[in-house]
């Protein structure tokens, strides 16, 4: 793999950038692999990378039905943080945040991680109680979190309207939170995994599982059968479909979640502002666009579009809170299909089928977890034993009742 650096940039400039090596190969599938990962989003690619880099398993394929990052990885609003309520969540999201902090260096690929600070606004007494409880829990877990007053919020976001229909009564600030470039995360993991020998196979849809004696032995795909000792499924909103193919059901609902971006403007907002109770969160991309996230649709769907009333419900509070944005034009709107569990926490681990592992249920907030999720999932697949950080997120919790209710910290209305 060619190392990216200022020197390689200069070297290639001499040849008018004609000689850059392809970031990853496009091989035909082999007959069999040690591990097949289904789903070429950030989590699937990260899993493949850590299997090869940390677990010594390089005979790995990532099988993606479309193109890399074409699912939720390339559709999200890129917010990264670790300020969740429960210890179990703190474990996995903070593990991820620590990996984010060194990810560009590790992958030799600029994932544009930008810890610009993240505000969670409180608009009513209930919000204040929620951030009070959560902020204290976060700090007990040794994670940075600060309560800030409306005056401090105004200092960070001078054009915010504090005294509107949704008064700002305070906020929770995580300074280490921020954003990262979503495509770059997928591409960075893909490039590094490929360099370690992982086969990345795009346009290859998994249509079924080969299962003998309740043990998975391979996957049927649109490009033929591929044998596998172990299979890891990381298909987000389509996890229910894949589980159905393997003969079991998952406690998830698939719903559209939307986002929109404005025309680009000069830098005006240098932090992320989330507002769970009014269903709007906002940041500014490096290109200058306002990136606005909405609440999820109220109905189940695989449409990847989302309904118009959600846009209205989102833009209304944005204009109320930030009147200065009222005359901006919105450029694009899109949706992704998110896999939501009843406790808004992911499912990571074993399934009723031997050697078939699932990593799903990240719902509206899995981008931030990408490195941590891939890391612990890779170790779980390699060892056949679930990594301690992932253990609380087993599917069994829906039988035992040991739910990890992150409804409030998820911050997106479901």
Can you give the binding site for ligand FAD, defined by CB under 6 A? Answer: 38-44, 63-66, 70-73, 75-79, 205-206, 234-236, 238, 242, 257-259, 293, 336, 338, 362, 364-368
Backbone angles phi, psi at 229, to 5 degrees: -70, -40
Task: Pick between residue 206 and residue 356 the one whose CB is nearest to ligand FAD.
Answer: 206
When the beta carbons of 137 and 260 are compared against ligand FAD, the nearer one is: 260
| Least spacing, CB of residue 362 vs ligand FAD, in Å | 4
Q: Which residues of 305-340 are buried (b: 16+ CB within 10 A; e: fewer)?
A: ebbeebbebbbebbbebbeebeebeeeebebbbbbb
CB of 406 to ligand FAD, least distance (A): 12
Helix ranges, 196-307 (H): 239-246
Taking the least distance from each CB to ligand FAD, the nearer of 170 and 306 is 306
Least separation in angstroms between residue 40's CB and ligand FAD is: 5
Nearest distance in Å: CB 248, ligand FAD:
16
For ligand FAD, the closer of residues 122 and 348 by Cβ is: 348
Closest CB to ligand FAD among residues 232, 336: 336
Half-sphere exposure (CA, 13 Å, Cβ side) for 375?
17
Give min distance, CB of 258 to ligand FAD, in A: 6
> Residue 58 has which token pair?
């390089």
Distance CA 388, CA 350 (A): 13
CA distance 414 to 396: 23
Which pair of structure tokens corresponds to residue 321?
């809170």
Strands 356-360, 224-233: pairing kind: parallel
Return all residues near 249 (Cβ < 8 A) that are at least 6 apart.
Answer: 240, 243
Cβ 10 to ligand FAD shortest distance, Å: 34
Half-sphere exposure of 365 (CA within 13 A, CB side): 28
Looking at the Cβ atoms of 53 and 364, the one nearer to ligand FAD is 364
> Which lies closer to ligand FAD via its Cβ, residue 152 or residue 304?
304
Q: Which residue has the tokens 């609003």?
A: 77
Written as six digits, the tokens of 173 are: 């600030």
Least separation in angstroms between residue 264's CB and ligand FAD is 19
Transcribe 212-231 into DSSP letters: ETTEEEEEEETTEEEEEEEE
Q: Which is nearer to ligand FAD, 121 or 235 (CB)?
A: 235
Token pair 């992320």: residue: 272
State in angstroms the smallest separation of the CB of 371 from ligand FAD.
11
């Amino acid at each position: 793999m060619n190392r990216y650096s200022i020197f390689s940039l200069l070297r290639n400039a001499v040849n008018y950038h004609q000689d850059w090596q392809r970031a990853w190969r496009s091989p035909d599938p082999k007959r069999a692999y040690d591990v097949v990962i289904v789903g070429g989003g950030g989590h699937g690619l990260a899993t493949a990378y850590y299997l090869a880099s940390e677990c010594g398993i390089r005979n790995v394929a990532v099988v993606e039905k479309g193109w890399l990052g074409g699912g939720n990885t390339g559709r999200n609003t890129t917010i990264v943080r670790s300020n969740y309520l429960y210890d179990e969540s703190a474990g996995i999201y903070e593990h991820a945040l620590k990996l984010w902090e060194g990810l560009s260096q590790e992958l030799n690929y600029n994932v544009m991680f930008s810890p610009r600070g993240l505000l969670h606004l409180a608009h009513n007494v209930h919000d204040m109680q929620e951030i009070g409880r959560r902020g204290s829990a976060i700090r007990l877990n040794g994670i940075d979190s600060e309560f800030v007053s409306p005056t401090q919020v105004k200092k960070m976001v001078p054009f915010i309207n504090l005294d509107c229909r949704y008064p700002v009564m305070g906020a929770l600030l995580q300074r280490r939170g921020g954003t990262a470039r979503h495509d770059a995360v997928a591409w960075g993991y893909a490039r590094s995994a490929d360099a370690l020998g992982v086969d990345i196979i795009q346009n290859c849809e998994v249509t079924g599982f080969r299962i003998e004696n309740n043990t998975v032995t391979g996957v049927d795909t649109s490009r033929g059968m591929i044998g596998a000792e172990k299979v890891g499924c990381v298909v987000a909103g389509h996890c229910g479909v894949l589980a159905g193919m393997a003969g079991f059901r998952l406690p998830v609902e698939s719903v559209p979640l939307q986002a929109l971006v404005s025309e680009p403007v000069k830098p005006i907002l240098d932090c992320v502002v989330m507002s769970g109770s009014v269903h709007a969160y906002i940041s500014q991309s490096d290109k200058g666009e306002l990136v606005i996230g909405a609440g999820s649709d109220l109905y189940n769907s695989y449409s990847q579009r989302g309904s118009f009333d959600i846009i209205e419900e989102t833009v209304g509070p944005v204009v109320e809170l930030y009147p200065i944005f009222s005359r901006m034009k919105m450029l694009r709107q899109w949706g992704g299909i998110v896999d939501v569990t009843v406790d808004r926490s992911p499912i990571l681990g074993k399934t009723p089928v031997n050697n078939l592992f699932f990593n799903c249920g990240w719902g509206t907030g899995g981008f931030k977890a990408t490195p941590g999720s891939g890391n612990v999932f890779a170790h779980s697949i390699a060892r056949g034993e679930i990594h301690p950080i992932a253990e609380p997120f087993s599917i069994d919790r829906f039988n035992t009742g040991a739910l990890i209710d992150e409804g409030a910290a998820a911050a997106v209305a479901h």
